Amino acid sequence: MITFTTPRGPVLLRLSRQNDRTIAELSLRKPGIANAGLLPRPRQAKLMLGNESDEEAVITVADQTIKLAAHAGENLTNSDAAAAEMPDSQKIDLPPGKYKVTLKVDGGAAASREFEVAANETWGLLAGTDGVLLPMRLY
């Protein structure tokens, strides 16, 4: 994990290995203060779950299973306000660490991957239209 500063704000580059693949995640933290609905609990990480597919999706992380109706929370990345308006049932607070995340979209096979979160981060996990989990750092 590498952090650096750009003219647009702080940036995080995270490289991780899963099976025979290298996963690169690059995120820019928006300057300014995030609203309270977006902030994680102190020393925790927050996951906000959404589904942009036309089918029901089921996401399992840290022994918690969340069912998401088609298009539930698909706008979580549009703005801080959209993310903050998500129901609590689509938010998970976790201690920092690595977690196995499984996504199952109706009509498709389950897909799993490891996902690492750090303290004081908020991530969006969006079930994509092709049954792939799309992680996005929100804060």
The tens digit of pLDDT for each residue in 48-97 reads 999 988 899 999 998 899 999 988 887 776 666 777 778 888 899 999 99
Of residues 106 and 90, the one with the higher pLDDT is: 90
Coil, helix or strand at residue 108:
coil
Torsion of CA 12, 15, 16, 17, to 10 degrees: 170
Given this model, what pLDDT does residue 32 score?
58
CATH number of the domain enclosing 95: 2.60.40
In a domain, 31, yes or no: no
Task: Provide the domain count of the chain.
Answer: 1
In a domain, 2, yes or no: no
pLDDT digit string (tens) for 36-60? 677 888 899 999 999 988 899 999 9
In a domain, 9, yes or no: no
In a domain, 117, yes or no: yes
In a domain, 80, yes or no: yes
Of residues 47 and 139, the one with the higher pLDDT is: 47
**Range of 97's domain?**
39-137
CA separation for the pair 86, 96 (Å, rounded): 22
* Residue 31 predicted with pLDDT over 60: no
Looking at the DSSP assignment, which residues form a beta bridge with residue 114?
100
In a domain, 47, yes or no: yes
- What pTM, to 2 d.p., does this model score? 0.73
In a domain, 74, yes or no: yes
